Amino acid sequence: MGIAGQIAIEDRSQSIPATMLAAVYRGVNDVRLETVPVPAIGPGELLLRVHTCGVCGTDLKKIASGSHSPPRIFGHETSGVVAAVGAGVSKFQPGNRVVVFHHIPCRSCYYCRHNTFAQCATYKKVGCTANFEPSGGGFAEYVRVMDWIVDQGTVKIPNSVSFEQASFVEPVNTCMKGIEALSLQPAEIVLAIGQGPIGIILSVLALRAGATVITSDLYPERLKIAESLGLQNTVDASKDDVVNSIRERTEGRGADAVILAVGSNALIRPAMDAVRPGGRVLLFAQTQRGEVVVDPAAICVDEKSLLGSYSASVDLQEESVRFVMGREMNLERLISHRFPLQEAAQALKLAAHPQPESMKVVIQPGITWKSDAWEGRSQQ
């Protein structure tokens, strides 16, 4: 659906109902469509009517592992329309199109002073909820945005930018944080393992930093998408040995840096093997705790660095907004599947078990599928 059609939806004058639909997590791999109360807002808060919410791999892992107690409503890559504002809110008004961050740090604690914002106790508190324990809430029709998120983590969407494009602000921020951790130098060679949506964003940002980027994936279809976004150097991991291919292209040394954008711990060793002595490996998708075998001599004797990056950085908030809203990258190209809220379970299943043709999956509570066209849905 075009931008004009999306804007038309937000301009409708709609009353706020007492109840709404939500995809409620009830246990391991158990997400149900339920009717729940529309969350009440307090002073300084917003009520957001959700248009688009991207499905993030971290939410999928929480659902599959049972790491978080039910019930919860997940979803944090959220864009939509302000439906109501609490007392004292002056920066926003009903009808504003916005995207929200769900974490904002205190900026004053030990971890914030050391720019390790994701470890801040305030940052770990989720500031958006659609009921139950705050968990993002984007897989619902309405979301309550708490005061500190309204003040520091809510961004207006320009009229020229779609809800879908805007929903990538938070994931782009996380990717920028990862690229910053690598401290890339111009002309360095970077191997990006995994070309799902996040892997492609990381690759584009590494290219933007001046690196020569080589991408790899088991699905040729994903490599074609990467190529269409300017990532011309590829390795088809379904046919070729990635480590050997990288060494052949680097006079036997290996890449200067490797980005591992796949959650499999089994790929950590190949990533270490693919990087040159003195190089860096970034773990970006290893969010599940556990143990893995790593060659200690690769770190000590070969001086290879193993780095990690998790979640977003408030210091990169403005840059990520400029990148997304300025359309430096056509992020809508990464969306392969759009589901109405009524089909949230199917959306989550597909995202958890990606197919060669599937990329970014989004849930769009504000619209339904009718006659092969997305149309606005009344929320009276």
Whole-number Å distance between alpha carbons of 142 and 132:
13
- Whether 157 and 33 map to the same domain: the answer is yes
Task: Confirm if 81 and 145 have CB atoms less than 8 A apart.
Answer: no
In a domain, residue 15? The reply is yes
Give kind and range of the element (H or E) at residue 10: helix 3-10
CA 94, 52, 335, 375 torsion: positive or negative? negative
- Whether 24 and 142 map to the same domain: the answer is yes
- Whether 70 and 44 map to the same domain: the answer is yes
- Looking up residue 283, the CATH number of its domain turns out to be 3.40.50.720
Q: Which of 308, 336, 351 is the last residue of a domain?
A: 308
In a domain, residue 170? The reply is no
pTM: 0.92
- Whether 279 and 365 map to the same domain: the answer is no
Helices of type H across 47-196? 57-65, 110-113, 121-124, 147-152, 163-166, 169-182
- Whether 180 and 280 map to the same domain: the answer is yes
Q: What is the pLDDT of residue 379?
A: 29
Whole-number Å distance between alpha carbons of 244 and 189:
15
- Whether 202 and 143 map to the same domain: the answer is no
- Tens of pLDDT, residue by residue over 207-246, are 999 999 999 999 999 999 999 999 999 999 999 999 999 9
The tally of domains found in the chain comes to: 2
- Tens of pLDDT, residue by residue over 334-375, are 999 999 999 999 999 999 999 999 999 999 997 754 433 333
- Whether 57 and 151 map to the same domain: the answer is yes
For 157, the domain range is 3-161+327-376
Q: DSSP per residue over 286-297, as a string?
A: --S-------HH
- Whether 114 and 32 map to the same domain: the answer is yes
In a domain, residue 321? The reply is no
- Specify the 3-state DSSP secondary structure of 231: coil
- Whether 138 and 44 map to the same domain: the answer is yes
In a domain, residue 124? The reply is yes
In a domain, residue 30? The reply is yes
- Whether 152 and 189 map to the same domain: the answer is no
In eight-state DSSP terms, residue 20 is: E
- Whether 127 and 242 map to the same domain: the answer is no
CA 187, 190, 195, 201 torsion: positive or negative? negative
In a domain, residue 8? The reply is yes
Task: Confirm if 162 and 6 have CB atoms less than 8 A apart.
Answer: yes
In a domain, residue 201? The reply is yes
In a domain, residue 314? The reply is no
Low-confidence ranges of the chain (pLDDT < 50): 1-13, 369-380
- Whether 28 and 53 map to the same domain: the answer is yes
Whole-number Å distance between alpha carbons of 145 and 126:
10
Q: What is the pLDDT of residue 313?
A: 96
Task: Confirm if 222 and 194 have CB atoms less than 8 A apart.
Answer: no
Q: What is the pLDDT of residue 288?
A: 82
- Looking up residue 339, the CATH number of its domain turns out to be 3.90.180.10
Structure-token pair, residue 170: 């938070």
